[in-house]
Amino acid sequence: MNPETATHSTTERTLHTANEVILRPERSLTALAVSRLVKNRLAVLGLVILCALIVAATMAPLLTRYSPTAMDTSNRFQPPSLEHLMGTDQFGRDLLSRIVYAGRVSLTVGIISVGVAGLLGTIIGLTSAYYGGWWDLLVSRLMDVLFAFPPVLLAIAIMAALGQNITNVMIAIGIVNTPIFARVVRATAMGVSGRLFVEAAQALGASNRRIILKHVFPNCLPPLIVQTTVAFAWAVIAEAALSFLGLGTRPPTPSWGRILDEGRNVMEYAPWQPVFAGLAIMITVFSLNVLGDGLRDALDPESTR
Amino acid sequence: MIRYVAYRLLLAVPVLFGISLVVFLLIQMIPGDVVSALLGMRTSPEAAAALRRMFGLDQPLPVQYARWAGAILRGDLGHSLRTGLPVSYLLASRLVVTAELAGLGVLLAVLFGMPLGVIAALRQNTTTDYLATSGALVGLSMPDFWLGTLLVLVFSIRLRWLPPTGYVPFSVDPLQNLKLMLMPAVTLAGGSASYIMRMTRSLLLEVLSKDYVRTARGKGLPERTVVYAHAFRNALVPILSVVGQQLGYLMGGVVIVEAIFAVPGIGRTALESIYNRDYPVVMGVVLLIALIYVVINLVVDLLAAIVDVRIREQIASPGR
């Protein structure tokens, strides 16, 4: 998006917000956004699924009857049953256990890589928009370069360079996400930086640090929150894709991508394996997508609902 | 217009330079170098040193980069460590395959995404709209590698309608070629079709709420004219940039899709060369995909500027 058009629309939006606050002084913007969000049934569904997934991942040992890595060769390729709700794989390992434990990997990778990328991207975006000059020029050109690679390919290339382990998966996904966060925050911060209340704060002698944190940053939160859900969804897909291609986590650590890849080789006898593994990825991504859509609508000051 | 084209082309130069630098540095980060990959562990230090001199690896990094970049500008991407063939030759033969796959993918994505988006927008809040919107939501949440796996499971393993993997050039057997390309193209198109559908729907809805659409309706124009001559035409420019964006995005998707269906294009070449530690090929193919991505985005922006005067005018005063 062109930074100029972004600036324009943000200004317009914030004006709307101001009107809304005057019209409804009894409710804060946050309360308004929350009340809009809970009215969106699909977004609530996404939030519930996401919470359930996080609970399942944290309490994995309590929820599963079998170890995710325990092999039982007498029980290979068992179809789903009461014993094994999702069946067993080629080594007789319980698929439900493996998928629940793999959720830990996916969510950890997502939370850490998106957290770090969000933090770095926000700092880069805020400072480049506020200070401008050579720093902004450098940041903008660097972002142009990183945006010139298809995201999946960039992650694959970074994994090839760094070597295959879970830390590097997070680094690769983080590197791809950082410029996206930086761009989102920079575009919003550019619109805010030129506004009167920032000039007023400067005239009053507030430090740059204070202005950025207290005046510019809060205005960047809505797009930042939405971008976080998008980045998280992508991180889950990317982690699975890297593991699927044999470039992600190493065996025997269970990962949705690798369970799916292993399942692909045996799907003539055990079609449930790739089906359940993919379903786990899709449900996670779906919950993040609908939550993101809901947040986008709820945080949009132009919407009147 | 010429000024705009020149401006955009000029802007692409530092990006291309940066891309080459990133690719070069990524390869430098790999532990061990070409020589250890080529000779393995059991080799004498003298032999390794001689080979390093031959490849110019004993030179400082900036010199190595300058040599490499200079060779690329002359069209020389080096030779594959595996086969000894020129990388440019290898990539050229595989690019044709990827071009067909990506072309079919975009075609399917547009053929399904755009009409469904228009129908959903025109019948907003009806069952048709809900079905199309939910379908797109599922399509967006479905990773391509799972969609591909499911297609193979259903159409190859269960129904035995289509062969699961393989490739035949179009010139050899057109029918078999299309049969083999169908599942990869559908897999590639799934996410994009969903995205195009959603964007078409929301962009058209936005235009339909504009004052000039109300004016057109108010002066009694038939609904067909209002929708197609006024609304859709104005929504088309942003929709086309979305399509272009998706074509670029598909260049990333081909890596995964070609791996699933064993399609011998540049995406599969990228993965194979990474597995084989064939660094000249890795560098060449990553560079090529990034270049295609940049060119597609450039062409999309230029096309948008041709259609929409406002974009050109904006650039006449580029601001910061």
Strand partners, A88: A94
pLDDT bin (cut points 50, 70, 90) of residue A304 is very low
Look at chain A and count its residues. Answer: 305
Minimum CA–CA partner of A5 in chain B: B314
Interface contact A282-B248, CB threshold 8 A: no
Provide the sign of the torsion angle of the four alpha carbons B183, B185, B188, B189, taken in this order: negative
Give SS3 for B233: helix
What is the pLDDT, as a whole number, of residue B164?
82
Interface contact A260-B142, CB threshold 8 A: no
What is the pLDDT, as a whole number, of residue A33?
83
Minimum CA–CA partner of A42 in chain B: B134
Q: What is the pTM of this model?
A: 0.86
Chain B closest-CA separation from residue A72 CA (Å): 26
- B246 phi, psi to nearest 5 deg: -65, -35
Structure tokens at B2: 């010429």
Tell me how far apart the alpha carbons of residues B222 and B204 are, in angstroms, rounded to a whole number.
18
Tell me how far apart the alpha carbons of residues A281 and A266 are, in angstroms, rounded to a whole number.
19
What is the set of domains in chain B, with CATH numbers? 96-264 (1.10.3720.10)
Structure tokens at A254: 């269970």
B24 touches chain A (CB under 8 A): no
Q: Please state, as a whole number, how many other Cβ atoms lie within 10 Å of the Cβ of residue A4.
A: 16
Interface contact B143-A245, CB threshold 8 A: no
- Span between the terminal Cα atoms of chain B, in Å: 20
Interface contact B293-A290, CB threshold 8 A: no
Minimum CA–CA partner of B278 in chain A: A160
User: Would you write out chain B's pLDDT as a tens digit for each of its 320 residues?
Assistant: 788 888 888 888 888 889 999 988 888 877 666 666 666 666 677 777 777 777 777 778 888 888 888 888 888 888 887 788 899 888 998 999 999 999 999 999 999 999 999 999 988 889 989 999 999 999 999 999 999 999 999 998 888 888 888 888 888 888 888 888 999 999 999 999 999 999 999 889 888 888 888 888 888 888 888 888 788 888 888 888 888 888 878 888 899 999 999 999 999 999 988 888 888 888 899 899 888 888 888 888 888 777 776 666 665 544 43
Assigned CATH topology for domain A46-63+85-298 = MetI-like fold (1.10.3720)
Interface contact B14-A144, CB threshold 8 A: yes
Surface of B (224-263) touching A: CB under 8 A? 248-249, 251-253, 255-256, 259-260
Tell me how far apart the alpha carbons of residues B86 and B76 are, in angstroms, rounded to a whole number.
8
Give residue limits of the domains in chain A: 46-63+85-298
Q: Which residue has the higher pLDDT, B311 or A137?
A: A137
From the centroid of its chain, how far is CA A1?
21
Strand partners, A174: none
Q: What is the pLDDT of residues A213-227, one digit of tens each?
A: 888 898 888 889 999
Chain B positions in Cβ-Cβ contact with residue A233 (cut-off 8 Å):
141
What distance separates the 2 farthest-apart alpha carbons in chain A?
77
* Res A5 pLDDT > 80: no
B314 touches chain A (CB under 8 A): yes
Chain A positions in Cβ-Cβ contact with residue B251 (cut-off 8 Å):
150, 153
Q: Which residue has the higher pLDDT, B88 or A86?
A: B88
* Res A13 pLDDT > 50: no
Residues in contact with B184: Cβ distance below 8 Å, sequence separation at least 6, in sequence order: B101, B148, B257, B258, B260, B261, B263
- A94 phi, psi to nearest 5 deg: -70, 120
What is the pLDDT, as a whole number, of residue A209?
87
What are the Cα distances from residue B19, in Å, to A228, A257, B288? 26, 29, 10
What is the pLDDT, as a whole number, of residue A7?
37
Amino acid letter, A7:
T
B165 touches chain A (CB under 8 A): no
Surface of A (96-155) touching B: CB under 8 A? 132, 141-142, 144-146, 148-153
Interface test with A, best of B23, B137, B146 (most A CBs within 10 A): B146
What is the pLDDT, as a whole number, of residue B141?
92
Interface contact B157-A271, CB threshold 8 A: yes
Q: Which residue has the higher pLDDT, B47 or A35?
A: A35
* Res A177 pLDDT > 90: yes
> How many cross-chain Cβ pairs, A to B, lie less than 8 Å apart?
132
Cβ atoms A94, A84 nearer than 8 A: yes
Structure tokens at A29: 């913007």
What are the Cα distances from residue B299, in Å, to A77, B9, B113, B265, B302? 51, 10, 21, 23, 5
* Res A182 pLDDT > 90: yes
What is the pLDDT, as a whole number, of residue A81?
78
Surface of A (233-272) touching B: CB under 8 A? 233, 237, 240-241, 244-247, 257, 260, 263-264, 267-268, 271
Q: What is the pLDDT of residues A231-281, one digit of tens each?
A: 999 999 999 999 999 888 887 788 999 999 988 888 888 888 889 999 999
Min mean pLDDT across A44-48, A180-184, B205-209 is at B205-209
Surface of B (46-85) touching A: CB under 8 A? none
From the list A233, A247, A260, the residue facing B145 with the nearest CB is A260
DSSP B292: H
Tell me how far apart the alpha carbons of residues B80 and B85 are, in angstroms, rounded to a whole number.
6
Long-range contacts of B89-96, Cβ-Cβ distance < 8 Å, separation of 24 or more: B90/B269, B90/B281, B90/B284, B91/B266, B91/B269, B91/B284, B91/B285, B91/B288, B94/B264, B94/B265, B94/B266, B94/B268, B94/B269, B95/B265, B95/B266, B95/B288
From the list B22, B149, B282, the residue facing A260 with the nearest CB is B149
Chain B positions in Cβ-Cβ contact with residue A247 (cut-off 8 Å):
274
Interface contact B248-A150, CB threshold 8 A: yes
What is the pLDDT, as a whole number, of residue A78?
78
What is the pLDDT, as a whole number, of residue A31?
82
Interface contact B256-A241, CB threshold 8 A: yes
* Res A283 pLDDT > 90: yes
Chain B closest-CA separation from residue A13 CA (Å): 16
B166 touches chain A (CB under 8 A): no
What is the pLDDT, as a whole number, of residue A240?
94
pLDDT bin (cut points 50, 70, 90) of residue A302 is low
Chain B positions in Cβ-Cβ contact with residue A186 (cut-off 8 Å):
none
Mean pLDDT, all residues of chain A: 83
Q: Which residue has the higher pLDDT, B171 or A126?
A: A126
> Quick one: average pLDDT of A175-188?
92
* Res A11 pLDDT > 50: no
Amino acid letter, A97:
S
What is the pLDDT, as a whole number, of residue A200?
87
From the list A158, A263, A282, the residue facing B142 with the nearest CB is A282
Interface contact A150-B251, CB threshold 8 A: yes
